[in-house]
Structure 1
Amino acid sequence: MFDAARPLLLATLLPLLFAACGKAPAPAEEVRPVRYTVVGDDAAQPSERFAGEIRARQETKLGFRVAGKVVEKLVNAGEHVKKGQAIARLDAHDYALDLSAKRAQLAAAEHDLAQKEADLRRYQELLAKNFISQAQVDQQRNAVSAARAQLTAARASADASSNQTGYATLTAVADGIVTDISAEPGLVVSAGQPVATLAADGAREAAIAVPENKLTALRTAKSFTVTLWAANKHYTGHLRELAGAADPATRTYAARIALDNPDDAVKLGMTTSVGLPNANAGEQIRLPLTALLDEQGKHYVWVIDPASRKVGRKPVSVAAVGTDWVAVSGGIVRGQQVVTAGVHLLRDGQRVSLLKESAA
């Protein structure tokens, strides 16, 4: 009976034995998700960048034209004012008293002149009747001329005193923003002492400090790239002003780069980065710093084949490095897809899946 069951048992076990002796199935190919960027036409990176801030082209230090004690501050720093708007006031009591005295002197001079002119008319009538001499008439005529001169002086003195009273109020010389004010009530100021800074509306500029070895490049550059740190927006600009001497403390030259196309995103005091154009900018590519792979002193980037979705390592030369960007040349061209994250986890020929594109 056992012999009769043997063929059936062998038929059952043989397929299992052959399956156990066969090769194991190949493991599934690893597909690694990566972030990437497409190298665009705006990838050229300036060779030099200088930190600066946005300033108004016209910045005026405001001060009272007379001395006195501040009794009223009418605006705060950061407020927008109109031309002629009052910013602060001094105690004008003493100037008002002086104006009253000068006006009284003016009234006295007017009455004195009127009296002298009336006397001259009477003298002329007496001369016609031969009651007085011509010399007396001439003497009275000189008295009239002196009284008229005194009236002119009294009027000018009164006008000057009126101006002094008006100078006790500090007003804006143009429409703009008060960027700084130190005229607090109780402060005693001298004539001409700056107590406020007014940034006039209109043109905006980037103020930078340039080392002496970059002066030639700055003067010869036709345009500049101005980048706002907060908004990550880019503008073009041109050199408007360059200091003739270096700052004695920093040994750098102050320069102003006028923005050609500012918009509402440009605010006073914003941090900005000004880039000098690079002679080889057309050959350089700007990438996120995370796209760069460093191995044994050499630099590479991973380029994605759009057809096979596989990556290949390409050698590049680093031209410039910023806080979050790198300018490279060689190995890649515009329009290619470059991995921007996880570059140390890839290998040549590895298949990848594409996540959201990152900004270059």
Structure 2
Amino acid sequence: MVTGPAVPRPRKNPAIATARGAKIEKPPRMSWKKIVLVVAVLLAIALAMHFGRGAGDNSKAAKTPAEVPVEVASASQGDVELSLKLVGRVEAWSTVSLRARVSGQLESLSFTPGALVRKGSVLAQIDPRLLQAQLDQARGSVARDQALLQKAQADQRRYADMLAKGFVSKADYDLYQANLAVARATLQSDRAAQELAQTQLDYARIVAPFDGIAGAPLVWPGAQISADSTDIVVLNQVEPVRVAFNIPEDSLPAVRAALANGAIAVQVTISGDKGAPLAGTLDFIDNAVDATTGTIVLKARFDNAGHRLTPGQFVQVSLPTTRLANVVSVPVHALQSSSSGNFVFVLGADGKVQQRYVTPGPTSAGRTVIDKGLKAGEQVVTEGQMLLVDGSAAVVKG
């Protein structure tokens, strides 16, 4: 009897006998796809519940919005000065390069570089010995000529008496009369030479022609000085000073119109200086417009008593040109802009802000003129606008 390979029988779930003899089959295993599906469904339910609660919280927050802290300022009404903001440069009122007017060896310097010197103070001294000798010689000549003049006067008087008595001729008298005239002329000439020698000796002392700031020495003691050619020191007069600046030619008519009403006050601000702006007066308008730049040079005078302005220094210049009378203005920080136009946030008595569109005018001294849309006394927001919308609740910072 031929037998083939054994055919495996299909497995059946083993029966489990209970106490009562009932059979229970084991549950089939769950696939991994079903597990993932179940987890995804549970996660979706959890997220829905979470966002449902969040939406409920947001709806409650929307009902009671938080107050936005802001800073406000009042819209004021009054006159506003329009001014040009320019860059200027400080100039010394006068600048001189001091030179000796006589030649000689530089003996000493009597100033501190960079320090203030007073008018008439000695800055340098040239060796005076040769000049002193020339003065002494001129004085000797004058003394001799004075003696000769006295002798000529005596001779002239004596011969005048003798001529009256007929003891001398008229020709002899004329000779002594001429000698007297020569003696007088010689004395006058020698006196002029004495004055020249005295002046030359005085020039050996170089003095300050005005109050000013001395620069660095250009020569040192021991150097040979040539008359009218060797620079010794540069002196700048800084009380007062001028500030020069350029304005566009189309602004010149407004400046001239303002000048017709009186002196124009000019202010300058020094970069890095925390002091108050300095006040001066416009005192110079150039006589021609620069054809290359289309600008014209103006200069203002400043007393500079505190020496805050230094020649060569750059400063910010404010030049008033026009006065707008009785206009409404707000701080420049209050004005905002959007695609619909310029606006400000106005804080009402109920603590809410209104986004109000306005028509702005010119800006000057940190304030913008509002031509239309705002009344004097209204409170405008100057800080905190980025967190505001129309109707937002706001609270003024304490």
- 1:51, 1:282 → 2: CA distance? 30
The corresponding residue for 2:321 is 277
Q: Can you list the C-alpha shifts for 1:219-246, whole angstroms capped at 9, x where unaligned?
A: 1103645334245746876543322234
List alignment gaps of at least 5 residues for structure 2: 1-52
Shift of 1:148: 0.8
- Which secondary structure state, in structure 2, belongs to the residue aligned with residue 166 of structure 1? helix
2:86 is aligned, of 36, 44, 50, to: 50
1:329 is aligned, of 361, 370, 375, to: 370
Of the two, which has the highest radius of gyration? 2
Return closer, same or farther for 1:139/1:282 CA change in 2, 3 Å cut-off: same
- Superposition map of 1:164-313 within 5 A: 164-173=200-209, 176=211, 178-179=212-213, 181=215, 183-186=217-220, 188=225, 191=228, 195-200=234-239, 207-221=244-258, 222=261, 224=264, 226-229=266-269, 230=273, 233=276, 239-246=282-289, 252-257=295-300, 267-269=308-310, 271-278=315-322, 280=324, 282-283=326-327, 285=329, 287-288=331-332, 290-296=333-339, 298-305=341-348, 307-313=349-355
Shift of 1:116: 3.0
Return closer, same or farther for 1:165/1:179 CA change in 2, 3 Å cut-off: same
- 1:241, 1:30 → 2: CA distance? 59
TM-score after normalising by structure 1 = 0.70
List alignment gaps of at least 5 residues for structure 1: 1-19
2:197 is aligned, of 161, 171, 174, to: 161
Q: Can you list the C-alpha shifts for 1:21-66, whole angstroms capped at 9, x where unaligned?
A: xx7682242222223333445783515333336778x646474572
| Higher mean displacement: 165-174 or 142-151 | 165-174
Shift of 1:123: 4.4
The corresponding residue for 1:148 is 184
- Superposition map of 1:99-178 within 5 A: 99-121=135-157, 123-124=159-160, 132-173=168-209, 176=211, 178=212
- 2:128, 2:295 → 1: CA distance? 44
The corresponding residue for 1:77 is 114
Shift of 1:216: 1.7
Identical positions, percent: 23
Shift of 1:142: 1.0
- Which secondary structure state, in structure 2, belongs to the residue aligned with residue 44 of structure 1? strand
Q: Can you list the C-alpha shifts for 1:1-31, whole angstroms capped at 9, x where unaligned?
A: xxxxxxxxxxxxxxxxxxx9xx768224222
TM-score after normalising by structure 2 = 0.64
What amino acid is the match of 1:181? G
| Higher mean displacement: 340-349 or 116-125 | 116-125
- 2:217, 2:75 → 1: CA distance? 53
Residue 102 of structure 2 contacts residue 203 of structure 2 at CA under 8 Å; is this kept in 1?
no
- 1:66, 1:263 → 2: CA distance? 32
Q: Does 1:348 align with 2:387?
A: no
Note the aligned Cα RMSD (angstroms): 4.1
Shift of 1:145: 1.0
- 1:155, 1:353 → 2: CA distance? 92
- 1:104, 1:249 → 2: CA distance? 65
Return closer, same or farther for 1:63/1:80 CA change in 2, 3 Å cut-off: closer
Shift of 1:198: 1.9
How many positions carry a matched residue from both structures?
Answer: 324
